[in-house]
Amino acid sequence: MVIKHLPAIDIQNMGFRYQGSSGVIFSNLNLKVAKGERFGLFGPNGAGKTTLISLMTGLLRADEGHIRLFGHDIGQKHVEVNHLFGFVPQDFSFYQELSPVENMEFFGAWSGLDKQKIRKRTDELLHILGLEEVRDKPVEKFSGGMKRRVNLAIGVIHEPEILFLDEPTVGVDVQTRHAIIDYLLALNKNGTTLIYTSHQLSEAEGLCQQVALMDDGKIIAHNSLNGLLEGYNEDNLEHLFLNLTGKDYRNDV
């Protein structure tokens, strides 16, 4: 159940380290994302973005502190809270042997939808994302851009309150990128909270209202996009990014 006055995401004093690793990834991390916000999470490779998203989606468990989605502790109420969010991972997260319709039938069922709802949402999404003509063809034969759209369609089939997007437009052409961004903006207009990570900073400028820059497991800046640019006296997100994280190579092993 969504309680409107609660933040979509509320992270309090969260600590995490990988099993067997001596280094701490996160220590005492705090973050709030309001309902209906378009939130961008940026940082160089190895900054901890994917790990943080994994923690917020329950793929990893925090060692300390709390992560709450609309007040539900992700660690305590995993199944209940899973209905609230959708996830579009960077990797293609579907069965390549199956068609878009077959994938959506399966993932729709696993998302808790009934047969009728799955059929309705499948028709809607395939129409919106321009996949109607290939609805019954195996996804393995699709181009990268088409696969990205399938990946997105599956992530939103159950109309989640919060949508996590890990580099949703990587490797796609301009047309597909615009189609995806337009669809995300439409979703947000209907109340879906977007949590977005990408290395496409120019794309992020058009999408995100709130921005957090991460480095080395810490949130080093967090504000509205305009607030950050004004605060650091930069004219775009890329310059701000380089200003705060430096120009050195980052090796993420």
Nearer to another protein, 139 or 244 (CB): 139
What is the token pair recorded at 209?
A: 């209202």
- From the CB of 140, what's the least distance to another protein, in Å? 9
CA distance linking residue 166 with residue 195, whole number of Å: 8
CA distance linking residue 29 with residue 50, whole number of Å: 15
- From the CB of 169, what's the least distance to another protein, in Å? 16
- From the CB of 153, what's the least distance to another protein, in Å? 12
Query: Position 182: which residue type?
Result: D
Nearer to another protein, 41 or 104 (CB): 104
Burial of 211 from C-beta contacts in 10 A (0-12 / 13-18 / 19+): buried
Q: Give me the residues that bind another protein (CB under 8 A), please.
A: 57-59, 79-80, 82-83, 85, 87, 89, 91-95, 97-98, 102, 105-112, 114-115, 138, 154-155
**What are the start-end ranges of the E strands in the chain?**
9-16, 26-33, 38-42, 64-69, 72-73, 85-88, 162-166, 193-197, 210-215, 218-224
CA distance linking residue 230 with residue 211, whole number of Å: 13
Query: Which of 96, 97, 160 shows the shortest CA–CA distance to 125?
Result: 160
CA distance linking residue 146 with residue 100, whole number of Å: 10
- From the CB of 69, what's the least distance to another protein, in Å? 12
- From the CB of 151, what's the least distance to another protein, in Å? 8
Cα–Cα distances in angstroms (integers) from residue 74 to residues 2, 29, 38, 112, 152, in the given order = 14, 16, 20, 18, 22
Taken as a whole, the chain contains a residue count of: 253
Nearer to another protein, 3 or 109 (CB): 109
- From the CB of 60, what's the least distance to another protein, in Å? 9
